Structure 1
Amino acid sequence: MAGKLIVLNKDEDNLSVVNLRSSKVEQTVATSHNPHEVVVSHDGQKTYIACSLGNTVDIMDNKTFEITGHISHEEFHFPHGVGITNDGKTLYLASTFSEKIFLIDTSTDEIRKIIPTYQTYSHMISFSPDGKTAYIPNIGSDNITVIDTETEEIVNHFPVGKGPEGVAVHPSGEDIYVANQDDDTLWIMDTTDYEVNYKRRVGHTPVRLVFSPDGQYAFIANRESDDVSIIQTEQRINGQIRPWEIKRLPVGKWAGGIVFQPDGTHAYVANNKTNDISVISLATLKETERIDVGIHPDGIAYLP
């Protein structure tokens, strides 16, 4: 395994830089208060860290692993979900309690537009594979806000289950998967009309959902059952093709952030309450090791 992990330690106000060759923390970097979610710029030069209780976004230089700047605004109230548009020019930030989406120019690191969702607890950011659409789960409104990234306007809100948090679009672009934490379900919906094609029961309190690079699997972190639901997106059985949970893999306590290695060989799960990272082999769908990090790790990103 090559590359590094950036792991946010929420209750220690720092992040761990994990060397995946040695499976060791090679550096610890102090952050603003309560770092939650993280994204690496497409050119690999910068990391953006949403510090939810510090009401700021820290900017880290990936060459020196130093915090070089901060983005703040009077309406940052629990800044949380982050994502970068396909062209790399805009950082989308979801501010949970102000229920607004902030658009930040990645060349200047300045806020250039604010989009109110008028929904309750807008929490995460997820983009369609073609980058033309952003999806924002609203935990308190039980729906998803849809933003056209070309016009930068809200074009829809569609209903889902209770307490949606984990959201991702399949690499094919045809289906959106929504993990509803308050009713322990996965909804699989058509991206053209948002009709529900399948509903699946998963573990307790599903909070994160990520597809493997090839789209074969969706991994769902179930916080309160301490496991990961592994969904095979096209299970073939008895002449049928369907999405199906083929395994519920025990990991550490309070599974949270998930990221895949770009080559699809491994996935990494941040375990909030055992203060470690589970390494999962995609070849065997088994946990192969644990990597110790800081206190209450959650947000996680891969750095080549």
Structure 2
Amino acid sequence: MSLPTTSVRSWSRPGRRLLAIAGSCGLAVASLTAVAPAAYSAPAARTTAEAPLAYVTNYSDDTVSVIDTATQTVTATFPVGDGPKGVAASADGTRLYVSNGDAGSVTVTDTSTGTVTATIPVGNGANGIAVSPDGTRAYVVNSALQRLTVIDTTANTVTATVTVGSAPQEVAVSPDGSRAYVTNYNARSVSVIDTATNTVTATINVGGFPQGVAFTPDGGRAYVTRPYSNSVAVINTATGTVSASIPLTDGPYDVAASPDGAHVYVSRGQGATIATIDTATNTVTATTASGNTPRGVAVTPDGDHVYTANGNSATVSVIDTTTHTTSGIPVGTTPVDIAIADRPLADLGVEVTATPRPGLLNGRIDYTVTLTNHGPRTLASATVTVDLPTPTGATSPDCTLTTGKATCTTTSLAPGATTSRQITVPVAILSLGTPYTVTATRTTSTPTDPNPANDSASRTCTAVTSLLINCA
């Protein structure tokens, strides 16, 4: 979702004023002057430690706000390009793609650090943006150039441009990644692009100046908002035809589907509300208050909450999809679009094995501490502290030893990769049943580790003499 180039909207920002020209469309003008934000209650905190993050583009601030959906608070704000509009995240949540409408670029951000790792020129009018399900491509609408730009996300380079209809606004990629749908506002159509060949294979006449578009999870239908005609069109993707039209007043703008496909949620830019549509009947079943001028809309992976960016309230509304109650979170100035993605986590698992090495005078136990990155992203760094039996005179080729402890570190561990550290503990000639216990515990790691259950492991060996060592 992003700003239409042909609807009537005028927003101020320091030293500059964006004016989207309406002209002949006849779309009703919504006043954006000094409207008091809706009164919100504070959102209830969620308890899931692995709750996703929401990313909001703040057009007037040239920033992105990061919302922790577990605590419903803004945890970070980082700069992007000039006039950020659309936002999309990679499937693993490690990268964020922002289309910068005033800069004609896409910024790529590392979500674990909030730093821009690449800036890709894409041309004038960068608007809606989407990422393919496999994360290999990003698709950016160029409203001023009547085209769709295709980005290789590995090389961060433009690999193709596809000519579409007049004043394209938004793009959505089908769940199987085979097609991209682009809404053409002035052309009153949707372009269907074959993502394998980057060619337009069909143009669907939907009427009503289409704006937002979203697929159902099964890919069988696409819902298209039509602000001018106050309705939502339903496209049968198998036939490429409009199968239903749903009346919806107050300028339906953006749309998002629930994970189970049972509902779609539509922001109503002129009514400060979000509509819930039952996809089985294609009827509006609920209308819930939001902030002023709701634009981008997104649904959490569990389907429990809908988030919408309220352009004229400097807030994000959080809607409980069961109770249809609304709470709000202050963000930057002129929030436009929103994306929800998994946290950029790396789950480090710790294991300990022991191998007895009997000897008449120099018995020992070789302990191996194995570290495995269970993903989903690369482990930047980690420290594991190993408690040792004392006194021992332990030795290690790869860990730092102090009295009773060993400190082991690792860096740049890819998802699925393992690394090991060795620690040797000598065994006395007469141990008389002495237990030799080693416990390894992850103490720090970057990025966040979501699973404390596998952060610690221990192994005990028992020695009678240096010749009799049992590691059961």
TM over 0.5: same fold? yes
Q: CA deviation at 1:88?
A: 1.4
**Residue matched to 1:277:** 316
Count of residue pairs brought into register by the alignment: 293
**Residue matched to 1:215:** 261
Q: Is the 8 A contact 1:179 1:186 kept in 2?
A: yes
Matched residue SS, 1:247: strand
Q: Is the 8 A contact 1:203 1:227 kept in 2?
A: no
Q: CA deviation at 1:188?
A: 1.6
- Structure possessing the higher relative contact order (Cα contacts under 8 Å, 6 or more residues apart): 1
**Residue matched to 1:298:** 336
1:78 to 108, 118, 125: 125
2:298 to 251, 256, 259: 259
**Residue matched to 1:107:** 154
**Residue matched to 2:101:** 52
Instruction: Tell whether 2:130 aligns with 1:91.
Output: no
Instruction: Tell whether 2:77 aligns with 1:28.
Output: yes
Q: Give the % identical residues.
A: 26
Instruction: Tell whether 2:87 aligns with 1:38.
Output: yes
Matched residue SS, 1:39: strand
2:66 to 10, 13, 17: 17
In 2, Cα distance between the equivalents of 1:172 and 1:46? 25
In 2, Cα distance between the equivalents of 1:218 and 1:60? 29
Q: Is the 8 A contact 1:203 1:228 kept in 2?
A: no
Q: Is the 8 A contact 1:203 1:229 kept in 2?
A: no
Matched residue SS, 2:103: coil
Kindly provide the amino acid, as one letter, of the partner of residue 212 in structure 1: S
2:219 to 150, 173, 177: 173
1:245 to 284, 288, 297: 284
**Residue matched to 2:177:** 131
Q: CA deviation at 1:11?
A: 1.0
Q: CA deviation at 1:46?
A: 1.0
When Rg is computed on C-alpha atoms for both structures, the one with the higher figure is: 2
Matched residue SS, 2:270: helix
Q: What 5-or-longer segments of structure 1 have no aligned partner?
A: 235-241
**Deviation per residue, 1:175-210 (Å, 9 max, x gap):** 221111111111123212233322121132211011
Instruction: Tell whether 2:277 aligns with 1:231.
Output: yes
Q: CA RMSD in A?
A: 1.3
Instruction: Tell whether 2:210 aligns with 1:164.
Output: yes
Matched residue SS, 2:333: coil
Q: TM-score scaled to structure 1, two decimals? A: 0.93
Q: TM-score scaled to structure 2, two decimals? A: 0.60
In 2, Cα distance between the equivalents of 1:175 and 1:227? 24
In 2, Cα distance between the equivalents of 1:45 and 1:194? 34
In 1, Cα distance between the equivalents of 2:184 and 2:177? 20
Distance 1:244 1:48, change over 3 A: same
In 1, Cα distance between the equivalents of 2:214 and 2:77? 30
Kindly provide the amino acid, as one letter, of the partner of residue 283 in structure 1: T
Distance 1:102 1:195, change over 3 A: closer
